[in-house]
Protein backbone atom coordinates (compact mmCIF):
# COMPACT_ATOMS: atom_id res chain seq x y z
CA UNK A 1 0.00 0.00 0.00
CA UNK A 2 1.28 3.45 -0.85
CA UNK A 3 2.18 5.85 1.89
CA UNK A 4 1.43 8.71 -0.44
CA UNK A 5 -2.31 8.56 -0.86
CA UNK A 6 -2.91 11.42 1.56
CA UNK A 7 0.43 13.14 1.92
CA UNK A 8 3.15 13.12 -0.74
CA UNK A 9 5.65 14.46 1.78
CA UNK A 10 5.25 11.41 4.01
CA UNK A 11 8.30 9.25 4.18
CA UNK A 12 10.20 6.70 6.15
CA UNK A 13 11.62 7.70 9.49
CA UNK A 14 15.34 7.53 9.90
CA UNK A 15 16.33 8.49 6.35
CA UNK A 16 19.56 10.39 5.96
CA UNK A 17 19.47 14.12 5.31
CA UNK A 18 19.06 14.58 1.58
CA UNK A 19 21.75 16.40 -0.38
CA UNK A 20 20.84 19.66 -2.11
CA UNK A 21 20.33 17.74 -5.36
CA UNK A 22 18.28 14.98 -3.74
CA UNK A 23 16.18 17.55 -1.89
CA UNK A 24 15.55 19.37 -5.19
CA UNK A 25 14.34 16.13 -6.76
CA UNK A 26 12.09 15.39 -3.80
CA UNK A 27 10.56 18.87 -3.84
CA UNK A 28 10.22 18.76 -7.64
CA UNK A 29 8.18 15.57 -7.42
CA UNK A 30 6.00 17.19 -4.76
CA UNK A 31 5.59 20.32 -6.91
CA UNK A 32 4.66 18.22 -9.96
CA UNK A 33 2.13 16.36 -7.85
CA UNK A 34 0.63 19.67 -6.72
CA UNK A 35 0.52 20.97 -10.31
CA UNK A 36 -1.27 17.79 -11.42
CA UNK A 37 -3.88 18.15 -8.69
CA UNK A 38 -4.41 21.91 -8.69
CA UNK A 39 -3.59 22.79 -12.30
CA UNK A 40 -1.57 25.81 -11.14
CA UNK A 41 1.08 27.22 -13.47
CA UNK A 42 4.56 25.80 -12.84
CA UNK A 43 6.01 29.26 -12.16
CA UNK A 44 3.46 29.85 -9.38
CA UNK A 45 4.14 26.49 -7.73
CA UNK A 46 7.93 26.92 -7.99
CA UNK A 47 7.65 30.38 -6.43
CA UNK A 48 5.51 28.97 -3.61
CA UNK A 49 8.03 26.21 -2.94
CA UNK A 50 10.99 28.57 -3.04
CA UNK A 51 9.30 31.12 -0.77
CA UNK A 52 7.55 28.84 1.70
CA UNK A 53 7.82 25.08 1.31
CA UNK A 54 11.60 24.98 1.09
CA UNK A 55 11.83 25.95 4.77
CA UNK A 56 9.23 23.41 5.97
CA UNK A 57 10.25 20.33 7.85
CA UNK A 58 10.15 17.08 5.95
CA UNK A 59 10.90 14.02 7.97
CA UNK A 60 12.15 16.38 10.68
CA UNK A 61 14.68 18.02 8.35
CA UNK A 62 14.89 21.50 6.87
CA UNK A 63 15.70 21.69 3.17
CA UNK A 64 17.35 25.12 3.10
CA UNK A 65 20.27 23.58 1.18
CA UNK A 66 18.04 22.50 -1.72
CA UNK A 67 19.50 23.09 -5.17
CA UNK A 68 17.05 25.76 -6.33
CA UNK A 69 18.11 25.83 -9.99
CA UNK A 70 17.61 22.07 -10.26
CA UNK A 71 14.17 22.30 -8.62
CA UNK A 72 13.13 24.92 -11.18
CA UNK A 73 14.69 23.04 -14.10
CA UNK A 74 12.92 19.80 -13.23
CA UNK A 75 9.48 21.31 -12.70
CA UNK A 76 9.62 23.59 -15.73
CA UNK A 77 11.17 20.90 -17.93
CA UNK A 78 8.63 18.24 -17.02
CA UNK A 79 5.73 20.63 -17.53
CA UNK A 80 7.08 21.75 -20.92
CA UNK A 81 7.67 18.19 -22.13
CA UNK A 82 4.92 16.25 -20.36
CA UNK A 83 3.45 14.70 -23.52
CA UNK A 84 6.85 13.52 -24.78
CA UNK A 85 7.74 12.18 -21.33
CA UNK A 86 4.45 10.28 -21.14
CA UNK A 87 5.15 8.79 -24.57
CA UNK A 88 8.61 7.66 -23.39
CA UNK A 89 7.13 6.09 -20.27
CA UNK A 90 4.29 4.45 -22.20
CA UNK A 91 6.85 2.86 -24.54
CA UNK A 92 8.46 0.97 -21.65
CA UNK A 93 5.27 0.11 -19.73
CA UNK A 94 4.00 -3.45 -19.89
CA UNK A 95 1.27 -3.98 -22.49
CA UNK A 96 -1.51 -4.20 -19.92
CA UNK A 97 -0.63 -0.86 -18.29
CA UNK A 98 -1.33 2.68 -19.44
CA UNK A 99 -0.10 6.05 -18.21
CA UNK A 100 -3.65 6.85 -17.09
CA UNK A 101 -3.56 3.87 -14.75
CA UNK A 102 -0.63 5.23 -12.76
CA UNK A 103 -1.26 7.03 -9.46
CA UNK A 104 -0.52 10.79 -9.73
CA UNK A 105 2.44 10.82 -7.34
CA UNK A 106 4.01 7.79 -9.01
CA UNK A 107 3.53 9.39 -12.44
CA UNK A 108 5.02 12.67 -11.20
CA UNK A 109 8.09 10.81 -9.95
CA UNK A 110 8.47 8.85 -13.21
CA UNK A 111 8.08 12.00 -15.30
CA UNK A 112 10.81 13.78 -13.35
CA UNK A 113 13.12 10.80 -13.74
CA UNK A 114 12.33 10.48 -17.46
CA UNK A 115 13.11 14.18 -17.89
CA UNK A 116 16.49 13.74 -16.21
CA UNK A 117 17.29 10.68 -18.32
CA UNK A 118 16.31 12.46 -21.54
CA UNK A 119 17.68 15.95 -20.88
CA UNK A 120 20.36 15.94 -18.18
CA UNK A 121 23.10 13.86 -19.77
CA UNK A 122 25.69 15.20 -17.34
CA UNK A 123 24.07 13.00 -14.67
CA UNK A 124 24.84 9.29 -15.19
CA UNK A 125 21.79 7.11 -15.80
CA UNK A 126 22.60 4.89 -12.83
CA UNK A 127 22.62 7.96 -10.56
CA UNK A 128 19.23 9.09 -11.88
CA UNK A 129 17.78 5.62 -11.34
CA UNK A 130 19.21 5.37 -7.83
CA UNK A 131 17.94 8.82 -6.83
CA UNK A 132 14.39 8.16 -7.99
CA UNK A 133 14.28 4.65 -6.55
CA UNK A 134 15.27 6.22 -3.22
CA UNK A 135 12.44 8.74 -3.62
CA UNK A 136 10.00 5.97 -4.45
CA UNK A 137 11.13 4.19 -1.31
CA UNK A 138 10.46 7.36 0.70
CA UNK A 139 6.99 7.84 -0.76
CA UNK A 140 5.74 4.27 -1.10
CA UNK A 141 5.72 0.87 0.54
CA UNK A 142 6.23 -2.31 -1.40
CA UNK A 143 5.84 -2.89 -5.09
CA UNK A 144 6.03 0.70 -6.29
CA UNK A 145 9.77 0.90 -5.59
CA UNK A 146 10.45 -2.19 -7.69
CA UNK A 147 8.11 -0.85 -10.38
CA UNK A 148 10.04 2.46 -10.51
CA UNK A 149 13.35 0.61 -10.67
CA UNK A 150 12.17 -1.59 -13.54
CA UNK A 151 10.62 1.28 -15.51
CA UNK A 152 13.64 3.53 -15.17
CA UNK A 153 16.07 0.72 -15.96
CA UNK A 154 14.20 -0.06 -19.20
CA UNK A 155 13.97 3.63 -20.10
CA UNK A 156 17.66 4.25 -19.35
CA UNK A 157 18.66 1.33 -21.56
CA UNK A 158 16.72 2.95 -24.41
CA UNK A 159 17.71 6.59 -23.86
CA UNK A 160 21.26 5.99 -22.68
CA UNK A 161 22.15 2.66 -24.27
CA UNK A 162 25.75 3.78 -24.76
CA UNK A 163 26.18 4.13 -20.99
CA UNK A 164 25.36 0.45 -20.70
CA UNK A 165 27.62 -0.56 -23.60
CA UNK A 166 24.79 -1.54 -25.89
CA UNK A 167 22.78 -0.35 -28.88
CA UNK A 168 19.27 0.94 -28.27
CA UNK A 169 16.99 -2.02 -27.58
CA UNK A 170 13.82 -0.24 -28.75
CA UNK A 171 13.08 2.27 -31.49
CA UNK A 172 14.03 5.86 -30.75
CA UNK A 173 11.30 7.20 -28.44
CA UNK A 174 12.58 10.75 -28.08
Q: How far apart are CA 120 and CA 113, in angstroms?
A: 10
- Reported as a single tens digit per residue, the pLDDT across 56-112 is 555 444 555 788 899 999 999 999 999 999 999 999 998 888 899 999 999 999 999
* pLDDT band with cut points at 50, 70 and 90 for residue 53: low
Per-residue model confidence (pLDDT) at position 165: 82
Higher pLDDT, 171 or 70: 70
Q: How far apart are CA 89 and CA 5, in angstroms?
A: 22
Long-range contacts of 105-108 (CB under 8 A, 24+ apart): 105/2, 105/4, 105/8, 105/29, 105/33, 105/139, 106/2, 106/4, 106/136, 106/140, 106/144, 106/147, 106/148, 107/36, 108/29, 108/32, 108/33, 108/36, 108/78
pLDDT at 170 over 70: no
Q: How far apart are CA 153 and CA 147, in angstroms?
A: 10
pLDDT at 155 over 70: yes
Per-residue model confidence (pLDDT) at position 96: 83
Higher pLDDT, 66 or 1: 66
Q: CA-CA-CA-CA torsion for 45, 9, 156, 127, nearest 10 degrees?
A: 100
- Phi, psi dihedral angles at 155 (to 5 degrees): -65, -40
pTM: 0.82
For residue 36, the Cα-to-chain-centroid distance in whole angstroms is 13
Per-residue model confidence (pLDDT) at position 173: 53
Higher pLDDT, 72 or 172: 72
pLDDT at 1 over 50: no
Amino acid sequence: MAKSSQNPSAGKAGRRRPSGLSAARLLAVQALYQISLNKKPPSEVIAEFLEHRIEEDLEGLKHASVNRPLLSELVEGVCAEVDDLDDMLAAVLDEDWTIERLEILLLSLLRAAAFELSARFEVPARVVISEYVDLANAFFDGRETAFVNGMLDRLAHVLRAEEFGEAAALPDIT
